[in-house]
Amino acid sequence: MLSVRSRRLVSLDKYDQPTSQNVRVLVSGNGRMGALVAQAVEQSEGFELAGQVGIEHVAVLDGTEGTLDGVDLVIDFTNKDMLPHLARYLRRHPAALVCGTTGFDEDDFADLDELAEQMPVLWSSNYSVGVALLKRLAREASGVLGAWDIEIVETHHNKKADAPSGTALSLLEAVDEQGSCEHIFGREGMLGERPQKQIAVHALRGGTVAGTHTVHFFGPDEEVALTHRATSRQIFVSGALAAALKLVGKPAGRYSFDELMFG
């Protein structure tokens, strides 16, 4: 029997029937973020933890082994290899999807778009309200300081698999909405003078940093830097649950974190 350990043992094929006001949640991911999400779901009013799955449980998601009843909501913080299996499960059991997995390519986003034809889907590289505000501020600053040199630096713990972070890429999109600049990732060698219409993204990895993002605007004899610093992963968990409550019950479609949180 597939199960999850948290404050109590919750089975995936025999779970308590939730009360009518509770949202039944399947947590995808059994790493650090998955554990935090599962714990928060159990401790939060309005949610019922139906189960937790990892990459070792894909046969259950695919429907080739065991059973997993439908749920109201799937919260996914895993890696890109999990998405095809979650998609197979959701096509059989449509539910709202809150996804915080990064490292997706165009095919992965196409899968999310396809799911969104049947159910409400939210993907965000970052579920911090502060980061959402940072993107707004960076977008506004680029409109005023667009002729300045722009650089983005992100720092994360040494266990993070993808680089640059999904948040850094979303900041890059925010400061260059028209796609008129050259985008590079790090620098090396004798490159000569920095081109004016170029934005570089730099990724630092080390220790236990939850996540720091800075957008630099370099002008003649002055600099403006916008920084968000996360001191705990809990902010991402809290943001994801807040967005989830707003997502459940929405019509099918793709939603953004900014849209749900800021209207």
Name the region of 66 (left: φ>0; alpha: ψ -120 to 50; beta: rest): left
Pairing of strands 211-219, 222-230: antiparallel
Question: Active-site residue 246, yes or no?
Answer: no
So what's the pLDDT on residue 117? 97
Assign 3-state DSSP to the chain and report helix, strand, coil percentages, each to 5.
Answer: 35, 25, 40
Pairing of strands 9-11, 3-5: antiparallel
10-residue stretch averages of pLDDT, the chain, 263 residues long: 31 35 90 93 93 92 86 95 96 96 93 97 93 94 95 96 93 96 96 95 97 97 97 92 94 93 79
So what's the pLDDT on residue 21? 62
So what's the pLDDT on residue 102? 87
Question: Active-site residue 213, yes or no?
Answer: no
Spot the catalytic one: 160, 183, 216, 250: 160
Residue 33 near residue 68, CB atoms below 8 Å: no
Spot the catalytic one: 156, 202, 213, 228: 156
So what's the pLDDT on residue 146? 85
So what's the pLDDT on residue 65? 87
Residue 115 near residue 90, CB atoms below 8 Å: yes
So what's the pLDDT on residue 258? 87
Q: Which domains does the chain have, with CATH numbers?
A: 3-123+234-262 (3.40.50.720), 129-230 (3.30.360.10)
